[in-house]
Amino acid sequence: MQIRKVLLVEDEEDIRKVAQISLQFRGGWEVSLATNGEECLAQALSDLPDLILLDCMMPKMDGYEACRRLKQDPVLRHIPVIFLTAKAQETEVRKGLSLGAIGYLTKPFNPMSLVAEIQQILTNQEKAR
Amino acid sequence: MPAHTRNEIGSMSDTSANPLTRAENILDGSPLGVLVTDANWKVRYANQPLLEAVGASLEDLVGEHLLLLPGKTHRQDSLGELLHYFTHLTLSPPEKIEMKVVPVQVPEKRFIRVQVSPFRPAQSEGGYLFLFADATREGEIDEMKSEFISVASHEMRTPMTSIKGSLELLLGGYGGELPTETAELLGICLTAVDRLIRLINDLLDIAKIESGKMQLHMGRMNVVDSVKKSMRSLRSLAEANRISVAAEQSENIPEVLADRDRIEQVITNLLSNALKYSPPESVVRVRVCAVDNAVRVSVSDQGPGISPEQLNKVFDRFHQLEGAKKGTGLGLTISRALVEQHQGRIWAESEPGHGSEFHFELPAITGE
């Protein structure tokens, strides 16, 4: 699947910046940003991105709730969602996958290989179909 | 309660004639709780301060198994942690004096220091002497320290992650090609940040373990798979140091009930220690074998070995052997805590000049 636009949802400003640069630099992708689950839903509706990278622990609305709502929305439900999570929450995020996300990436991620890991998840997903 | 009002242990008339009774009367005046069990963990004696603390009479306790004690006391205390500790003792009986501070809810949170010493008198059968003392102040300070470490480490981890990511982008060519020396300096930063992240993760693990918040995600697993995975993750370190890693396993290794990630962490710790202390062109051996209802993993190296006085301390916090530079001094402490939380045991053997061997055992799943 061809990715052009990505929505990156992450509350930590510095980590958001590093991930944004990494996606632009390594993937050549257009990146829009959100800092919590509520902003994610609004931004997704206005941008209709090809992919959503969603942090799990965020203020206002966390990533799990945002994912649940994305998957209930008839316009947004087809957009693939990948969780970004701290290593310590790995067990929790495995449960979060039942909400409809296609995979997860653990932080700290290596910005030089982030795009490759995302593409691996997308490829696995297409094969599984 | 003064000793002369008691009648649980023999009659008072023979106090002077019976040295045991006299000793018991002295123990009743002690501020410590005293409990004596036989070699099979059945209670033989408890002193008055202990009986008062647990709200039981001597008849309630004598002859009872140690593991049944928390259910025999008249107060409705939650002594789960103490029971957990007792279980650990009966599964791996101490061979010398062992001491531990245990949190209990009675009903407010308190800490008790339990000291256990085995005794083997020449004429009568052996057993265990327990001394219980209040250690609430000590336990609270320790908890505050763990809480501080936990919060501080969490707060440090996020900025470390950003620094690491930025350095990786710069080294990866995001700002264009770097002059050699600039790349070298950034490389030093990255190595240092990686080490800090490892230290922070280790501190967080220690804080979790010490506050009892380390949760294990137990499942059936084969230890051999974890050994293979650890070996793969350390292959480049072994190759860089020109050390070969040989794995052996006996047939029919039973499965264990354990947290896969955490067991892999223990094996990786032992293996990376062995690699760090090995001379070039030497061999590190990893063996997995089945021994009496347990699975044993042994990692041996051909390094300088550890002197007997150092050998007792290698599992202590921040203890590092001479020549160690790249570690945090917490790896073996974490490994020991993880293995013990799995009801297993871990130990080291070494002879200076002839390498070291570290072993751990986990209870095997037996029967179906």
Q: Could you report the per-residue pLDDT of B209-220, keeping only the tens digit for each? A: 877 777 788 889
Contact call for A19 and B164, based on CB within 8 A:
no
Q: Could you tell me if B161 lies within 8 Å of chain A, comparing CB atoms? A: yes
Q: How far is CA B258 from CA A11, B87, B217, B248, B365, in A?
A: 35, 18, 7, 21, 10
DSSP-derived letter for residue B14 is G
Q: Tell me the mean pLDDT in the region B5-30.
A: 61
**Band (B123; pLDDT cuts 50, 70, 90):** low
Contact call for A18 and B165, based on CB within 8 A:
yes
Query: Tokens at residue B14, please?
Result: 């023979």
Better-scored residue on pLDDT, A95 or B14: A95
Better-scored residue on pLDDT, B76 or B246: B246
**Band (A125; pLDDT cuts 50, 70, 90):** confident
**Nearest by CB: B169 against A18, A107, A108:** A18
The confidence score (pLDDT) of residue B2 equals 46
ipTM of the complex in this document: 0.81
Mutation test of the interface with chain B: which of A17, A18, A20, choosing the one with the most B Cβ atoms within 10 A? Answer: A18
The confidence score (pLDDT) of residue A44 equals 95
**Band (B18; pLDDT cuts 50, 70, 90):** low
The confidence score (pLDDT) of residue B213 equals 72
Exposed e or buried b for every residue in B288-307, given b needs 16+ CB within 10 A?
Answer: beeeeebbbbbbbbbbbbbe
Give the best-scoring range by mean pLDDT among A75-89, B75-89, B216-230.
B216-230
Residue A90 has pLDDT above 70, yes or no: no
Nearest chain B CA: its distance from A83 CA (Å): 17
Pairwise CA distance, residues B304 & B70, whole Å: 47
The confidence score (pLDDT) of residue B179 equals 93
The confidence score (pLDDT) of residue B13 equals 45
**Band (B12; pLDDT cuts 50, 70, 90):** very low
pLDDT digit string (tens) for B154-177?
778 888 889 999 999 999 998 899
Give the best-scoring range by mean pLDDT among A33-42, B63-72, B187-196.
A33-42
Better-scored residue on pLDDT, A77 or B68: A77
Nearest chain B CA: its distance from A94 CA (Å): 13
**Nearest by CB: A112 against B158, B162, B168:** B168
Q: The pTM is what?
A: 0.63
Q: pLDDT averaged over chain B?
A: 83
Main-chain dihedrals φ then ψ at residue A71, nearest 5 degrees: -75, -15
Pairwise CA distance, residues A84 & A104, whole Å: 6
Query: Which of A57-71, B5-19, B60-74, B92-106 has the least mean pLDDT?
Result: B5-19
Chain A residue with the nearest C-alpha to that of B208: A88
Residue B11 has pLDDT above 50, yes or no: no
Query: Which of A69-73, A89-93, B29-33, B246-250 has the least mean pLDDT?
Result: A89-93
In 3-state terms, what secondary structure has residue A44?
helix
Pairing of strands B43-46, B33-38: antiparallel
